[in-house]
Amino acid sequence: MAAFDFDAAVRWGRLDPGRTLSRRDDAELPFIGDHPGAGHGLLLDTCVYIDGLQGRAPDAVDELLNVRTANHSTVAIQELMHTVGVLDPADPRTKSAVKQIGVLVDAMPAHRTFAPDVEVLARAAMLSGILCRLQGHDKDARLRALHDCILFLQAQKLGFAMLTGNIADFDYLLQLVPAARVLFYRRP
């Protein structure tokens, strides 16, 4: 038995609206609101960590994280570690930023940290390819689209809601896979 059903994924991947996707009005999207309540566990997009470290996350994000279970993806860890590698060692701010990222990653409990499986990785690759084709993404945007798709489908498979401040990109994904759960926030 194969580790991955290629034909089923290709059938699933026939998500083609035949047009470039447009960002929908905020009123059509699921924002966390001013008073977030209990609900599904969350899978955190990398921007949630970065916004938290930089003090750009709204209070509603902290409130939501106090009432829901936060889960983490190895993809977000990978993106955070990429940031550590990209930071200029000669910049005086780098040491502090690396230390903050280290504290953040070390605080992620192992039992709440998930790696995407073969099915999620393969479907995410296909979904990001569809998205890149529809939106005309250049080479620089393709890897970011792949990571977003992996997180998005991983959250869906695990039964979590994706928490993100990346409204435009995840709006497009919701248009292609409307059954997924995403909660948006806007940076103040």
* DSSP notation for 113-169: EE---HHHHHHHHHHHHHHHHHHT--HHHHHHHHHHHHHHHHHHHHTPEEEES-HHH
Domain-located, residue 43? yes
Average pLDDT, the chain: 88
How many domains in the chain?
Answer: 1
109 located within any domain: yes
pLDDT level of residue 34 (50, 70, 90 thresholds): low
Q: Kindly state whether residue 120 falls inside one of the protein's structural domains.
A: yes
Q: Is residue 139 part of a domain?
A: yes
Question: Using one digit for the tens of pLDDT, what is the confidence trace for 107-160?
Answer: 999 999 999 999 999 989 988 888 888 888 887 788 888 999 999 999 999 999
Q: Is 0.85 topped by the overall pTM?
A: yes
Does residue 2 belong to any structural domain of this protein?
Answer: no
User: Residue 69: its pLDDT value, please?
Assistant: 95
Residue 113 lies in a domain: yes
Q: Is residue 46 part of a domain?
A: yes
Question: For residue 19, is it within any domain?
Answer: no
Task: Tell me the residue range of the domain where 98 lies.
Answer: 37-184
Q: Does pLDDT of 70 surpass 60?
A: yes
